[in-house]
Amino acid sequence: MFNTELLRTRDPRVLLIALLFSLSALAPIKAAAVEGGSGIYLLGSKGSGAGILPPTGKYFLNDSYYYSGLASASTALPDEAGTLAFGLDADAFVNLSTFLNVTDTQVLGGRLAYGVVVPVVAKDVSASATASFGGSPISGAVSDDTFAFGDPLLTGIIGWSSGNWHSTMNVLLNIPVGSYSPNSLANAGFNRWGLDTTLAVTWLDPATGYEVSVAPGFTFNGENDDTGYRSGTEFHLEFAAMKHQSKQFAYGLNGYYYHQITGDSGTAPGDFKGRVGAIGPALNYTFLAGNTPVTLKAKYLHEFDADNRLEGGSALIQLAIPLGL
């Protein structure tokens, strides 16, 4: 039974604890499914050229990602004791450094590539709660921030090409050794194993410059041993429609659709399933840094139709640099 006496305190930390405990008893409150509000797969990271594996060689890839989002919910307390409202505000900056080796090794008729992804994460998270009893509201808020290394990921890719058609099978393995505390609102690491599989297909006609890319995938999550929370299986679909004006410049639209196909479980507050969509502009530009061709991709994604998820916007700048080794 939910203890409304906890909400009579003006200590914001106690108020937040009361709110979080209430989630398991008050099913209508749903703020952000998947523990921590985000998964190991970075939404927006695919898009233009997602199905194209670069030529044989070694590469340094750098993704700089900024996200800002909000979530809120409210519900009536048991026995008509009052109402409870919850708000979540999060800002995150993630820098992903990827070292990728594209080989001539043939696997299933395609070329093999492998690498490692090292994330550095900065987060600022604020949570607030307001409980109203007979017209006398009690409010409280807590906030947390972090700047630390996240969980490294191992990646493996197989790429195929035939005429204007290109495709890749991508696998990401999340290794839970990044900075994490079960008592923190903001964490750089996930403290859970995770596996993502994504199939990306690109059709690119060099004669007209038109490109269409799609990249569906699934993320499978392990349990967080410190909290007993197990995030559900996630489906994500990314797309891009681009016009290549030249070999150096392209523009168009990109977006994604995200939906959990199984709910969170364990200590999760009910059968949580998240959903969100996003769309926005994208630009590609290739230039020379000395004698080295560098590809820059810039995109913005505006989210909509969120359910049990933060809703906001993200900006992403991606660099691909051949190392010539």
- pLDDT attached to residue 268: 63
* 6 pLDDT above the threshold of 60: no
User: What residues have CB less than 8 Å from 141, skipping those under 6 apart?
Assistant: 12, 16, 126, 127, 128, 129
Q: For 41-57, what is the mean pLDDT?
A: 97
Cβ count near 256 (within 10 Å): 23
Which amino acid appears at position 104 of this protein? D
| DSSP code string of 255-316 | EEEEEESS--EETSSSS---EEEEEEEEEEEEEEETTEEEEEEEEEEEEEEEESS-EEEEEE
For 110-147, the pLDDT digits (tens) are 999 999 999 999 999 887 777 776 666 777 777 889 99
pLDDT for the residue numbered 30? 42
CB burial of residue 5 (10 Å; 0-12, 13-18, 19+): exposed
Residue 225 CB: number of other CB atoms within 10 A? Answer: 12
**Taking residues 268-279, what's their average pLDDT?**
82
pLDDT digits (tens, 9 = 90+) for 235-271: 999 999 999 999 999 999 999 999 999 988 887 666 6
Q: Is the pLDDT of residue 25 over 50?
A: no
Question: Band of the pLDDT at 108, cuts 50, 70, 90?
Answer: very high
Residue 163: partners with Cβ closer than 8 Å, 6 or more residues away:
none
CATH topology of domain 4-322: Porin (2.40.160)
Share of the chain above pLDDT 90, in %: 67
Please tell me the least confidently modeled range out of 17-31, 177-191, 225-239: 17-31
